Structure 1
Amino acid sequence: MPRPSLLRAVVLAALVAPSTLTAQAGAIRAPSACTYESCALRVEAAFLSAPKLLRGRAGEQVGNLGMFGGGVDTLLAGPDSAAAYARRYVTDIRRSSTLGLLGTVAFVAALIRSNNSSAADAPTVALAVTAGAFSIASIPFALRANRSLSKAVWYYNSVLPTR
């Protein structure tokens, strides 16, 4: 397979992959006697792993926030506003992850193509510029996804009774 066809195949696979991924198995429902203290959700970052969606003071894990929008089933099953923002999060994080993945693939292709030489030809420079463009294009989607996730958690928590 010639190189342009290989690159097209990788790009096509990266675009199709997020849509073929399925959500994690059902949402973990809140207990019936739910208060803010026992059922409020929060997101905690983890070192070298996906952030976690935790419930209550005890920190019961209800989801892993995956690269392509997984782990928000509890938010999707919550109040309408929380579910709407969770859907926005999933859409934006998938776009951000896809663009970031394409940028990484283009960067690796540029590295392989350059073969550690100091003089880069035009296609190698084009690949490197493309890698940068994809990576930069992913940033607004990642920021919007984080904002949507924050709002989804807020709306989910806003309907919980304080006592």
Structure 2
Amino acid sequence: MPCIFLNFFDCAMIIIVVLSFFFNFFRYLKIIEIKCYTTESGKIMLAPSILYGTCLYITLKVSHNTSLVTFHPIRSFSPVLTILLSLYVLRKKLPTRRIMFIILLICLSTSATSIIFISFNLLNFYNAWSYLFGFAVLFMQPTAFVMIEHRSKMIANYVLYINTFNSLGLFLIFDLFEVTFYI
């Protein structure tokens, strides 16, 4: 029974629906002040929402699979790539050496937690998917963050609200065309 539950439970969709519900509920109770969703703000945030939603969906789906062990060590370097993209695209200054050292230390230590399980055999079916998903997320997440910072001058709650609505449609599409791999 637990195996059936894990295969049919759509964690990503549930997270987005619950988040959307609470945003609207708190907005209705006037606990948080957020403007209504508009098509213009949705268009501004569409590309970053697609990238980040895809990244979130892949991460949640891979987390159910214990065979894809190289995914998390690769994905853990996204803060470094975010800084590099910010330098190039947004023309931001490089953080201090101390901050960069701390960020690299965190990335390396997070990556090292599962380094024991890594097999560098690219011909292995599981490793090929793991590398593919890991590098896809490694590039999608920083790109989404830099695009959000570049495109929007909105408050963080509103960006999350718009991203939630855009991701809801994206997750519906993913669920419609999902191919389940029993790895």
Give the alignment's TM-score, normalised by structure 1.
0.38
Tell me which protein shows more strand as a share of its residues.
Answer: 1
Larger radius of gyration: 1
Give TM-score, length-normalised by structure 2.
0.35
The structure whose RCO (Cα within 8 Å, separation 6+) is larger is 2
Q: Which structure: greater helix fraction?
A: 2
